[in-house]
Amino acid sequence: MAAGLGLGFLAVLVIVLWISSPYPDSGPGGALHLAAGLWLLAHGTDLVRYETLSGVPAPVGMTPLLLVALPVLLMRRAARLGSACGDGSDGDEVLPASAVFSAVTCGYLAVGSLATVYAAGGPMPADPLSAAWHVPLVAVLAAAGGVWVAKGRPLGPLPEWVPKGVRRAVARPRYALALRSGAAGALVLLGGGVLLVGASLAWHGAEVQGTFLALTGVWSGRFAVLLLALALIPNAMVWGAAYALGPGFALGAGATVTPLGFEGSAALPLPRFPLLSALPPQGPGSPVTWAVGVIPVAAGLAVGWFAVRRAREVSYGETALTAGLGSMVCGLLTAGLAGAASGPLGSRELARFGPVWWQVGGAAAAWTLAVAVPLAVAVHAWRNRPAAGTGPGDEWHAPGTRELRWETLRRAAGAPLVPDRAPVAAPAPVPPVPPVRPQPQPNPVPVPEPDPEPEPDPVPTPIPDPVPATPVAPPVLPVSGARVLSRRRPPL
């Protein structure tokens, strides 16, 4: 179903563009064949273009990375729904992960084989050898990710067939930190690439607009060019990151764009495309182009910051090793993205188009390694510095020492030192008491009051003699904190 939805979406899009085009080159059959070819291109499969001016078949291997998101998301969703069918909620049998993975992958590959055969009759057929490993690779990775998410993202130990030494080494926390720090560095590089592409498009706004308007004069053609440019934005991000790292990217067999300069022929047969109009001018570099070195430095800072563990028992060597592993992870991720974002757009001069994956990966690892390791060691030393006011004999009361002592005692005992409290039983519910209605009181019987007695005659009060006033001593207030001393006896 995932493969059918992806093919249907691209088929509808291509048919709409074919209907709105004033000069269609083929009928609806050719449009459907082209849709099948685009679906295979979204998996990284190379297409072959036979209708060229020289008559030599030209390969098309530049995969729009935004187009890859369509089959990946659909395949991942299909794996999640398949894993959720048998969850055991209504007494049905829970489907194992292997069964769901096999069923989804086999069905997707069957549709991919039919699409490859059908696209062979179109204007841009797919290379069978390229489709034989690109489509299964995308299907396996996407299905595995969907099943893993549906099962609750388990991160348990490795299987028993893995050697014990490898399982013990992978269980260490340094590898999780290395993956996190390496991913953070790769994201910083991609963010810097986005900034470079946006700034270059704004700087060359007139050239980009002129190229966009000169390609075609109808709205359907301009809409198709706009969709293609949007699908290639992730590729431009990777190209910008490769440019900031130093190796740059190739624009054919004899042209390379780097911060140090744009080396190539002045009559380079570049395709007229809006994104290519934002390239820097040919010639040596300038301080503006050299300033892009800030991006890999920022990536190295990110790797070093996320590679530090918040624990005092970690040594400096462990911290440096974690930062180094994070740099290697960043280099591998960048190399993979560079390989996916490049490819040929033709033969001869356009056989090399995009960054070289091993150069970009090596540059990313070197940049981040040079910055991440010193930063990680410095951050680790700053976090574990002694508290202010502690002397050489105050290590016992240093912050964090008490926690380490309790952790050591707990590990030695093998059980928690403080026993868990027994659960307190909930009080029994008290039944509600019905409200008591007030009873009407009888009217009181009036009692006659007795007659008042006559008051006696007033007796004159004697006037006392005047008393002399005496001075009043001020009150003695209690003194807090006073100490009472015992009275010493005088010597005899």
pLDDT tens-digit profile of 183-197? 999 999 999 999 999
Average pLDDT in the 387-413 region?
60
Is pLDDT above 60 for 179?
yes
Range among 154-158, 271-275, 326-330 with highest mean pLDDT value: 326-330
Average of pLDDT values for 210-231? 88
Query: What phi, psi does 67 have (nearest 5°)?
Result: -70, -25
Average the pLDDT over 219-248 and give the result. Answer: 92
End-to-end CA distance of the chain: 116
Higher pLDDT, 483 or 98: 98
Query: Considering only 117-121, 163-167, 350-354, which range has the smallest mean pLDDT?
Result: 163-167
pLDDT at residue 425, as a whole number: 55
Which tops the pLDDT comparison, 1 or 335?
A: 335
pLDDT at 370 over 90: yes
What's the pLDDT score for residue 158? 66
Q: Does residue 490 surpass a pLDDT of 60?
A: no
Q: Which helix (H) or strand (E) holds 48?
A: strand 47-49
Instruction: Indicate the angle between helix axes 2-20 and 28-41, nearest 10 degrees.
Output: 130
Q: Summarize the confidence of residues 109-124 as an average pLDDT.
A: 90
Average pLDDT over residues 451-459: 54
In the block, tokens 């899009």 appear at 13
**Lowest-confidence segment of 98-107, 140-149, 259-268, 357-366 by average pLDDT:** 259-268
**Which has more confidence, 21 or 404?**
21
Q: Tell me, what amino acid is at 67? A: L
User: Is residue 107 predicted with pLDDT exceeding 50?
Assistant: yes
Contact 358, 285 (CB under 8 A): no
Residue 352 has pLDDT above 90, yes or no: no
- Cα within 13 Å of Cα(259), Cβ side: 19
Radius of gyration in angstroms for the set of CA atoms belonging to the chain, rounded to a whole number: 41
- Helix (H) or strand (E) holding 283, with range, is strand 283-284
* pLDDT > 90? residue 153: no
DSSP structure string for 81-97: HHHHHT-STTSPPPPPH
Q: At what angle do helices 2-20 and 97-119 cross, to 10 degrees?
A: 30
Which 3 state secondary structure label does DSSP give 174? helix
Supply the pLDDT for residue 267: 45
Q: Is the pLDDT of residue 408 over 90?
A: no
At residue 90, the pLDDT reads: 56
- Residue 336 pLDDT grade (very low, low, confident, very high; cuts 50, 70, 90): very high
pLDDT at 152: 74
- Confidence at residue 64, expressed as pLDDT on a 0 to 100 scale: 92
Name the phi and psi angles at 375, rounded to 5. Answer: -65, -40
**Whether 131 contacts 45, CB under 8 Å:** yes
Is the pLDDT reported for residue 369 higher than 50? yes
Given a contact cutoff of 8 angstroms between Cβ atoms, the answer to whether 249 and 354 are in contact is yes
Instruction: Tell me: pLDDT of 93 over 90.
Output: no
Instruction: Give the global pTM.
Output: 0.75
Mean pLDDT of the chain: 80
Q: How confident is the model at residue 66, as a pLDDT?
A: 92
Mean pLDDT of 411-430: 58
Residue 199: predicted pLDDT: 94
User: What's the average model confidence in pLDDT over 294-313?
Assistant: 89
Residues facing 250 on adjacent strands: 256, 354
Helix (DSSP H) and strand (DSSP E) numbers for the chain: 15, 7
The per-residue pLDDT for 435 is 59
User: What confidence score (pLDDT) does residue 481 get?
Assistant: 47
Question: Helix, strand, or coil here: 271?
Answer: coil
pLDDT for residue 454 is more than 80: no
Highest mean pLDDT among 21-30, 150-159, 254-263, 481-490: 254-263
Nearest one of 218, 466, 189 to 334, comparing CA atoms: 189
Between residues 415 and 28, the one the model is more confident about: 28
pLDDT attached to residue 334: 97
- Give the per-residue pLDDT at 98: 82
pLDDT at 88: 54
Q: How confident is the model at residue 172 (pLDDT cuts 50, 70, 90)?
A: confident
Residues 316-324 have a mean pLDDT of 91
